């Protein structure tokens, strides 16, 4: 899971799941923005709403994989 930018420092924060991400966000805020007022409830809400998964497409060394080509249809 990755969390989109949450502060002006533009640092990406990641975690294996929402709970780990929540801990990473809290640690980041405490370490990098100690004067920023935040509640754990608000941070948890932010993580729940803004976290997302990345899915990776398989890439084959031999060029195999999906047969679909991208581009304009030939005339």
Mean pLDDT of 24-52: 87
User: Mean pLDDT over all residues of the chain?
Assistant: 76
The residue among 39, 30, 29 whose CA lies nearest residue 8 is: 29
**Residue 5 tokens, joined:** 């930018």
Mean pLDDT of 24-41: 89
Do 2 and 51 meet the contact criterion of CB atoms below 8 Å apart?
A: yes
Q: In which band, very low, low, confident or very high, does the pLDDT at 69 lie, cut at 50, 70 and 90?
A: low
CA dihedral (30, 34, 38, 39) in degrees, to 10, reads 50
Mean pLDDT of 43-53: 82
pLDDT at 56 (0 to 100): 63
Whether the per-residue pLDDT at 1 is higher than 60: the answer is: no
């Amino acid at each position: 899971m990755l969390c989109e930018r949450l502060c002006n420092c533009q640092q990406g924060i990641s975690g294996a799941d929402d709970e780990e991400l929540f801990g990473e966000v809290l640690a980041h805020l405490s370490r990098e923005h100690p004067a920023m007022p935040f509640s754990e409830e608000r941070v948890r809400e932010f993580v729940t709403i803004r976290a997302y998964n990345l899915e990776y497409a398989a890439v084959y060394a031999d060029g195999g994989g999906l047969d679909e080509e991208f581009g304009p249809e030939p005339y």
